Amino acid sequence: MRMKAIIKSWLISGGRVCVQFMGSLIPNGPLFTPLASPTYGASIAVDLSLGNSFIVTVTDNAAHALANPTNGAVPVTAAGAIFSVTEKNTTGGAIATMTFGTAYKLGAAWTAPATTKQRTIWFLWDGTTAWEVNRTAADVAN
């Protein structure tokens, strides 16, 4: 049997390929993970419709909080998706520890990266809660 007879159609939506195979729609994972740079400030927005990789560039030592994720309904960031947040210290000194909105469930307290360093944390999004699944064990150079 020729492959084109089995695969009925395919769709690219939000960076994800979905293939209709013998009557079933099969997602084939993200084609890309857009990199988003939310505006740094007291409250940092995490808009999941922009992608699933976020870099927060910290420019001072003021208190800052990661707001609860929004817009997690597109295929790349729908329930079951993984997204990451990287906190990057560009201040030339120490920074305040980033806090997290109530939708985030961390396994341990967050440690701010040292000057010229960064740390990344990964979450599993269930549509309501962002569960920590991994994080860098130590600072990584910018």
44 DSSP β-pair partners: 66
Looking at the structure, do residues 28 and 94 belong to the same domain, yes or no?
A: no
pLDDT at site 127: 85
In degrees rounded to 5, what are phi and psi of residue 48?
A: -65, -15
Looking at the structure, do residues 60 and 123 belong to the same domain, yes or no?
A: yes
Longest dimension (CA), the chain: 64
Total domains present in the chain: 2
Looking at the structure, do residues 18 and 83 belong to the same domain, yes or no?
A: no
pLDDT at site 73: 58
For the chain of 142 residues, list the mean pLDDT of each consecutive stretch of 10.
Answer: 41 47 46 79 92 93 95 64 93 96 96 97 91 95 96
Quote the Cα angle for 23-29-33, to 5°. Answer: 145
Looking at the structure, do residues 78 and 128 belong to the same domain, yes or no?
A: yes
pLDDT at site 76: 52
Looking at the structure, do residues 53 and 39 belong to the same domain, yes or no?
A: yes
Looking at the structure, do residues 53 and 28 belong to the same domain, yes or no?
A: no
Q: Which domain holds residue 55?
A: 33-141
Looking at the structure, do residues 28 and 42 belong to the same domain, yes or no?
A: no
pLDDT at site 9: 42
pLDDT at site 74: 56
pLDDT at site 98: 96
